[in-house]
Amino acid sequence: MARINGGEMLVRALERENVHEIFALHGGHLDAVFKACREHDFRVIDTRHEQAAAHMADGWARTTGRPGVAMVTAGPGVTDAVTGVANAYLDAIPMVLIGGRSPLLDDELLPLQGGIDQVALMRPITKWARSVAHTARIPEYVAMAFRQAMSGRPGPVFLELPIDVLFARAEEESVVFPQNYRPKSPAGPSRAALEQALRWIDEAERPAILAGGGVWFAEAAKELVEFAELAHVPVLANAKARGAISEEHPLCFGAFGAIHPAAHTRRGGKSADLVILLGTRIGLATGGRNSIIPGDARVIQVDIEAEEIGRGRSIDLGIVADCGEFLRQAIAAGRGIKFNGHEGWIEQLTTMRAGQRQKWDEAMKVERPIHPARMAREVAQALDRDAIIAADGGETAAWIANAFKAREPGSFLSHGYLGCLGIGIPFALAAKVAHPQKQVVCVIGDGSVGLNFAEFDTAIRHNLPVTVVINNDMQWGMSKHGQVLAWGAGNTVATELGVVHYERAAQGLGAHAEFVEQASEIAPALKRALNSGRAACVNIMTDPDVIEPGTLAMYSAFSGGKAPKTAQAETKTDETMLPYYGKRKID
């Protein structure tokens, strides 16, 4: 009778989840798995840092809608992956992290890469974290991990495999591979709640849908478009949902900020009177002290998790349902309703959108120094219609977010609640693994690019021809600009980087290299990079004095949008400016 080890069991269980790619960094604790991967023709993308492996599993899920799998060795391998897991946790991204562990038999003996409770370390930043103590149960635990990652609100999970459990063998016939361990149909809204929601949409003069990751992971992009067209409701999306409705669609109006009351009152209009939070949690822009949702608007929240309803603000109608099922039932019930056309509201948003797209037209005429808006627009114009962007950096991500048009879900990958820098290159590499036929471009700040720069080597070794465009303003842009706005020019510290030829370092790792100082050189350099057939680095020197509007907005409550003349300006008020959080009175 055949005997198989834990590595073979794990890989067979992953195959049942339609997983054939693993992002990893080698460690001997996991060699039983690596050997089985080779025998089963798994693709193992080995990175230069475990943080990058975790970010790649996160990025894979963001661009495919399916859980990514990362595998790291015991001890420092697990601790290095913490940031990537935390990033996925705060953004509700489904991923499975498999971690090695020292032998169970050596507990309390301070073995190599042992002595820490890895499950306890991961528990606060995962939906579920477990250690496997019996070899034959590995497939059962893999099934649990995927069920936890994908059921309800998605999120990362951690599965620990002690080396003596993983390398042990069991009779093949005695190993059970679970089947049918997830629900066949998603949870839907109650009839009363659905009727109320449709009635309010029909009554509203200025409704808006704020779509989030719940739409993408419910595979409901098609239904979102159909319902928006049926009810004539404008759609706005966060980074996870961008492209769920094409940003060329007349009912798509970009990011959530388009309904900020201030943007409408400045133009003599009114903002939304009904807001539908569809698979997006309340926080950052939608709740707390800085919400973009008008205080007098009705709010409907649709979320798969009841605990998310009403987080941080009052909700007029909370609906616990899968976003896809809610939309399907809303479409079926809404066909019998003649909805308000909302023409005036849509025209108002259309005018605002046109103004936003033309905002930086003057910057397009400047050759040098290169305006970051020019850099972003040149990148967006150089890409195929189905290209994928990974955006990374405080101000850099915002510049490219405004210039790029996402036409498909999973085509714009960027920051979330953790505000984690260093995601760009790993996200881009994961997207290229998932979509080898598409252009994949990472647009990244010169600060962020330092965090996972060695992954250029990963790109070359694994033949992943991504193009990395560096917005090089010679500083940590958002940080330096914030210091200038708060303290005045000449009072900055720890925010200068200087001129660095990142393209030369990338070239040393095997990448195609371009250095750009003139705006007219951007398009030709991008064309050469995209056509090089290998990973490329395009290092673009941009104007360090241009402040992205989002940074200016964060500090405007304190400084009036202008840098104070002296560093003592902040003492003239009893309120303190907290970077990123605005003006607060602190006793």
In the structure encoding, which two tokens stand for residue 283, read together? 């926080």
Q: Are 121 and 82 in contact (CB under 8 A)?
A: yes
What average pLDDT does range 268-282 have in this prediction? 92
Residue 559 confidence (pLDDT) above 80: no
Q: Are 564 and 489 in contact (CB under 8 A)?
A: no
Which residues participate in catalysis according to the annotation? 29, 50, 113, 419
What is the percentage of the chain residues whose pLDDT exceeds 90? 80
> In 3D, which of 66, 64, 19 has the Cα closest to residue 45?
19
Q: Are 61 and 95 in contact (CB under 8 A)?
A: yes
What residues contact 181, with CB distance under 8 A and at least 6 apart?
143, 144, 147
Confidence of residue 4 (pLDDT cuts 50, 70, 90): very high
CA 131 to chain centroid, in Å, comes to 28
CA 28 → CA 10, 32, 72, 99, 315, distances in Å? 16, 8, 10, 12, 51
DSSP secondary structure letters along 510-523: T-EEEEE-SGGGHH
- Sheet strands (E) in 374-502: 388-392, 412-413, 440-445, 467-472
Residue 570 confidence (pLDDT) above 50: no
* Residue that wins the pLDDT comparison between 552 and 189: 189
Over the chain, what is the mean pLDDT? 92
Maximum Cα–Cα distance across the chain: 82
* Residue that wins the pLDDT comparison between 238 and 559: 238
> CA 278 to CA 468: how far, in whole Å?
33
Tell me, what's the pLDDT at 564? 47
Q: Where are the alpha helices (DSSP H) in 305-415?
A: 323-334, 343-357, 372-382, 396-403
Tell me, what's the pLDDT at 582? 66
Tell me, what's the pLDDT at 104? 86
> In 3D, which of 513, 509, 516, 497 has the Cα closest to residue 453?
509
Tell me, what's the pLDDT at 573? 57
Domains of the chain, CATH where assigned? 3-174 (3.40.50.970), 191-354 (3.40.50.1220), 360-549 (3.40.50.970)
pTM of the prediction?
Answer: 0.94
Confidence of residue 54 (pLDDT cuts 50, 70, 90): very high
For 82-118, b/e burial (b = at least 16 CB within 10 A) is: bbbbbbbbbbbbbbbbbbbbbbeeeeeeebebbeeeb
What average pLDDT does range 257-270 have in this prediction? 84
Tell me, what's the pLDDT at 217? 96
> CA 7 to CA 169: how far, in whole Å?
9
What average pLDDT does range 262-287 have in this prediction? 88
CA 183 → CA 16, 138, 147, 179, 447, distances in Å? 16, 22, 9, 11, 44
Residue 558 confidence (pLDDT) above 70: no
DSSP secondary structure letters along 515-548: EE-SGGGHHHHHHHHHTSSS-EEEEEEB-TTPPP
**Distinct helix (H) and strand (E) counts, the chain:** 22, 21
Q: In what order do the strands lie in the sheet with 317-320?
A: 235-237, 207-211, 274-278, 298-303, 317-320
Q: Where are the alpha helices (DSSP H) in 211-342?
A: 213-217, 221-231, 261-265, 323-334
- pLDDT (tens digit, 9 = 90+) per residue, 15-44? 999 999 999 999 999 999 999 999 999 999
CA 397 to chain centroid, in Å, comes to 11
In the structure encoding, which two tokens stand for residue 517, read together? 């100082």
Q: Are 370 and 541 in contact (CB under 8 A)?
A: yes
Confidence of residue 354 (pLDDT cuts 50, 70, 90): confident
> In 3D, which of 473, 535, 547, 465 has the Cα closest to residue 506?
535
**Lowest-confidence pick of 107-121, 165-179, 226-240, 412-426:** 107-121
Residue 560 confidence (pLDDT) above 60: no
What residues contact 166, with CB distance under 8 A and at least 6 apart?
5, 6, 7, 10, 29, 30, 32, 33, 100, 135, 138
Confidence of residue 355 (pLDDT cuts 50, 70, 90): confident
Q: What share of the chain is helix, strand, coil (3-state, %, to 5)?
A: 40, 15, 40
Tell me, what's the pLDDT at 586? 63
Pairing of strands 467-472, 440-445: parallel
In the structure encoding, which two tokens stand for residue 372, read together? 């970051």
- Residue 41's SS3 state is coil
Chain position carrying tokens 């103590």: 133
CA 413 → CA 206, 221, 270, distances in Å? 29, 16, 31
> CA 262 to CA 266: how far, in whole Å?
6
> CA 287 to CA 303: how far, in whole Å?
15
> CA 406 to CA 252: how far, in whole Å?
10
DSSP secondary structure letters along 428-445: HHHHHHH-TTS-EEEEEE
Chain position carrying tokens 């905002």: 359
CA 98 to chain centroid, in Å, comes to 21
What average pLDDT does range 162-179 have in this prediction? 93
